[in-house]
Amino acid sequence: MKNHLLLTAFFLLPASAAIAADDSGTPPTTEQIVGRMAALDLQRQSSIGGYAGMRRYVLENQNLQKRAEMVVRVKGDPDGTKHFEVVSEGGWKAANTHVLRKMLESESETSRPELRATTRLNCANYEFAIVGTEMLSGRRAYVLEAKPKRKDKYLFQGRIWVDAEDYALVRAEGSPAKNPSFWTKSTHFVQLYQKSGPLWFPVSTQSITEARIFGTTDVHIDYFDYAPQNQPSSEITLLSAKEPYKP
């Protein structure tokens, strides 16, 4: 249930003509795709001056017939460090306290600059291999296998989809490189991103965990109202608040 932490370094990615496909028409290599994606992330971080947004977390366990929901305000510093404020919470109190709030604490900790470098989607932490291209929302994307170079609960193994024009992360799917707990049998996540104007930002994360005692637990995260801090107030909303998640 912590897998959305792995990819949040890429949550606001500006499209840049300076980092575009080669004019020669020759398909880029795996190294070029990953390098351009990483360069784009660094460009974003230096240009937006921090950001703010909202998230809605919904946790459900059908076996126990339990549900927890939490709305959170997030603020990102220019260096990428994240700060969370719980706006509201309801439902299963134990899950709010021991799962959702722990997820926030863990993400805040790993967002610090000294730790974030160890979880980035780059060649220092992963081995990548291009496996093809797919169309996502009418745009072509490169599909890459991502294999972690070490067993770390904040890295993952799976696939990423990189927009062929903007070299922005569009989708990520996989499982943790290291099982976070003996009580967890398996975890699988899917995280989706969307473009609005010149920026890419997260839309949703779906994480399904099979636990040894409690059975299947589903965590769904909706992201909304994300905007860079240096945007004029009239342009600050990138995504309007959605209706509460309903399975």
CA pseudo-torsion sign 89, 91, 94, 96: negative
Task: Give the chain's mean pLDDT.
Answer: 83
Contacts (Cβ under 8 Å, ≥6 apart) of 95:
59, 61, 66, 68
Q: Cα dist. 58→94, 125, 136, 186, 237 in Å?
A: 14, 30, 26, 19, 23
Stronger pLDDT, 219 or 115, i.e. the higher one: 219
In degrees rounded to 5, what are phi and psi of residue 47?
A: -105, -25
Fold of 3-15+28-227: outer membrane lipoprotein receptor (LolB), chain A (2.50.20)
Domain residue spans of the chain? 3-15+28-227
> pLDDT digits over 94-145, tens only?
999 989 999 999 899 988 988 888 988 999 999 999 999 999 989 999 999 9
pTM above 0.75, yes or no: yes
> pLDDT digits over 36-77, tens only?
998 887 787 777 778 899 999 999 998 999 999 999 999 999
Read off the tokens for 243: 């209706």
Band of pLDDT at residue 150, cut at 50, 70 and 90? very high
Q: Which residues of 152-173 are buried (b: 16+ CB within 10 A; e: fewer)?
A: ebbbbebbbbbbbebbbbbbbb
